[in-house]
Amino acid sequence: MPVGGLVPHAADDAADLIVRNAKIYTGDSGRPHAGALAIRDGLVTAVGDDAEVAPFVGPATTVVDALGRRVIPGLNDAHLHVIRGGLNYVLELRWDGVPTLRQALAMLREQAARTPKGQWVRVVGGWSAEQFAERRLPTPAELNAAAPDTPVFVLHLYQSAILNRAALRAVGYTKETPDPRGGQIVRGRSGEPNGMLLAAPSALILYSTLAKAPTLEGEDKKTSTQHFLRELNRFGLTSAIDAAGGFQNFPDNYGTVTELARDGQLTLRIAYHLFPQTAGQELDDLARWIEMVRPEDGDEWLRLNGAGENLTWAAADFENFAQPRPELSGGYEAGFEKAVRLLMGHGWGFRLHATYDETIRRDLAVFEKLAAEGLFPAGNRWLFDHAETVSPDSLDRVAALGGAMSVQNRMSFQGEVFARRYGLGAAAEAPPVRAMLARGLTVGAGTDATRVSSYNPWVALHWLISGRTLGGVALRPPQNRVDRETALAMYTRAGAALTGEDEVKGILREGFFGDLAILSDDYFTVREGDIPHIESLLTVVGGRVVHAVAEYEGMAEEIPAVSPEWSPVAHFGGHWATGGADRSGVRQAELLGEAAAESELHWQWRVQRGLADGGRPEPYDPCFVL
């Protein structure tokens, strides 16, 4: 972009990219604010005002005028299933941010019409019934009407999936199909499946059914991953920690990102974990991987960060809040201890999926036993993920053992169902973010996308700051919320610390990676309710422009077109483009809806405490009193 007043100099230290006329929040306590910065060879080389940075303008320097907009360090999702998500992205119809079920079903109907025979329409994560104006799920009948012949699979959180008749035929579910362990195939009076699958409490039935759908092959996997990374860049993400997960085998499913990294085509920095896939084989897998790779193998674009988020299947709890808390098998500690001992002895860090304090306490007891042998704290990075019901005592023990925490906004999607099961008091502390920070723990923030939460980081940041669910209900009180600066640090510096990169990433300072985003709205001053609508107008990773819209259109590197041509992403894109929050009188109706929802929860709270008898009071309107 030509900028008047800046004269190029033939300097040896000329920058590759300069951003000027900006409101830069650097995240650096030594200089938190600046007006311009320069990037050379992927690193920040100067931070200051326009005059201080002007000498670094050379004949080949790209100068970007931020037009007074807010600039922040690139965001880092500390728990994202980016590798698995990328392999499937172009096959999925995204309902993230879609405001009504009517609109969602219209998208599904249109996509079914263009989907070729043998392929499915699949909606996999990123939405909740609470986001819709109708406040409900689609029914099997609605899916049948929208797509009578094309298989349709719609996943809702960790709780359920809805299939049409064509999908039931495609997966072979009939009257004779038995319910799998931990799951339920809902049936009609005739005994035939009606299209509903329930996690009871395990989500394995949902994911194993989804695994029967067609997958991408060859170059399509590469193109899908590239477009998913660009979608993440769209929201200002420049880094992510891949938490591995079920149906993500190493090294097979890591081949696509490895190829992109080798060819210099990644637009997101990825630190990945390895997750044993087969129960009973976990120790063998871990031992084999220890011989193959080491933590921090790779470079700043793709590197191994450790094991997890499961080490052994027996030690993993479930997070389906529509079902009672699962009781883990007695005696899982023996195998779990062997896995932890193996990793710690070879310098491997790890992360652990643990939703409930009951699980965390049992795991900590194993760590404390090993601490007596000097294995904790031993410099290996390890952390608990999720931890919605972790207790103060457990947090103290985590701190003593040198651990960290990673929290996700799963409650913004599942908060209402959690509150109905465990009460408003428990929901107010799920998870206790401020208590974690008060103990000096490193607390990274992320989404746990893509099968449940949306990958949009601004939805997660809004939840940290406001405590509100997608349905607008404020579950978390002010004492368990964080301010905007703290939330941003959890999404930048903390994520870098969890991968041991806090000396090169997470802030904008000389010598650090040139990763940044120019935002559509000022994160620090925009109305709280508008935070989820923020997007990046220009995203830079290592000095490379990887996303550019509005005035910066055309500056980003080109990638292949979406394939196959019938892909939902080719027609609808990814996350629903809201175009900014509605600042009109419609906001009054939104506030009324939020008040009604909060009133309902308050009534349930009164009933639970014996302050009301459970019967609804008669509505009172003085206009009708005689």
Tens of pLDDT, residue by residue over 414-466, are: 999 999 999 999 999 999 999 999 999 999 999 999 998 999 999 999 999 99
The whole-number pLDDT of residue 4 equals 58
Tell me the average pLDDT across 19-33: 97
Tokens at 285, concatenated: 């897998």
**Other CB atoms within 10 Å distance of the CB of residue 38:** 29
The whole-number pLDDT of residue 245 equals 85
Q: Are 452 and 408 in contact (CB under 8 A)?
A: no
Q: Are 449 and 399 in contact (CB under 8 A)?
A: no
**Does residue 583 carry a pLDDT above 70?**
no
Tell me the average pLDDT across 594-613: 58
Lowest-confidence segment of 173-182, 260-269, 615-624 by average pLDDT: 615-624
**Does residue 598 carry a pLDDT above 60?**
no
What kind and span of H or E run contains 17? strand 17-20
Tokens at 407, concatenated: 């929290």
Please indicate whether residue 608 or residue 518 has the higher confidence score (pLDDT). Answer: 518
- φ, ψ for residue 134, nearest 5 deg: -80, -15
Q: In whole angstroms, how large is the CA radius of gyration of the chain?
A: 25
**Average pLDDT score, the chain:** 92
User: Residue 393: which residues within 8 A CB-CB, separation 6 or more?
Assistant: none
| pLDDT band with cut points at 50, 70 and 90 for residue 537 | very high
Rounded CA-CA distance 76/68 in Å is 24
| pLDDT band with cut points at 50, 70 and 90 for residue 580 | low
The percentage of the chain sitting over the pLDDT mark of 90, rounded to a whole number, equals 85
The whole-number pLDDT of residue 577 equals 80
Rounded CA-CA distance 172/177 in Å is 8
Instruction: Give the distance from CA 328 to its chain's centroid.
Output: 26
| pLDDT band with cut points at 50, 70 and 90 for residue 621 | very low
Tell me the average pLDDT across 393-418: 97
The whole-number pLDDT of residue 587 equals 47
**Does residue 2 carry a pLDDT above 60?**
no
The whole-number pLDDT of residue 246 equals 84
User: Residue 265: which residues within 8 A CB-CB, separation 6 or more?
Assistant: 226, 559
Longest dimension (CA), the chain: 88
Provide the pairing of β-strand 36-40 with 43-48.
antiparallel
**Does residue 487 carry a pLDDT above 80?**
yes
Tell me the average pLDDT across 161-186: 96
User: Residue 27: which residues within 8 A CB-CB, separation 6 or more?
Assistant: 72, 73, 488, 489, 492, 493, 506, 507, 508
- φ, ψ for residue 283, nearest 5 deg: -65, -40
The whole-number pLDDT of residue 6 equals 66
The percentage of the chain sitting over the pLDDT mark of 70, rounded to a whole number, equals 91
The whole-number pLDDT of residue 604 equals 64
| pLDDT band with cut points at 50, 70 and 90 for residue 212 | very high
| pLDDT band with cut points at 50, 70 and 90 for residue 81 | very high
The whole-number pLDDT of residue 225 equals 98
Q: Are 443 and 407 in contact (CB under 8 A)?
A: yes
Rounded CA-CA distance 296/379 in Å is 14
Closest residue by Cα to residue 409 from 79, 75, 74, 94? 79
**Other CB atoms within 10 Å distance of the CB of residue 166:** 18
Q: Helix, strand, or coil here: 557?
A: coil
**Does residue 319 carry a pLDDT above 50?**
yes
**Residue carrying the six token digits 């109905």:** 420
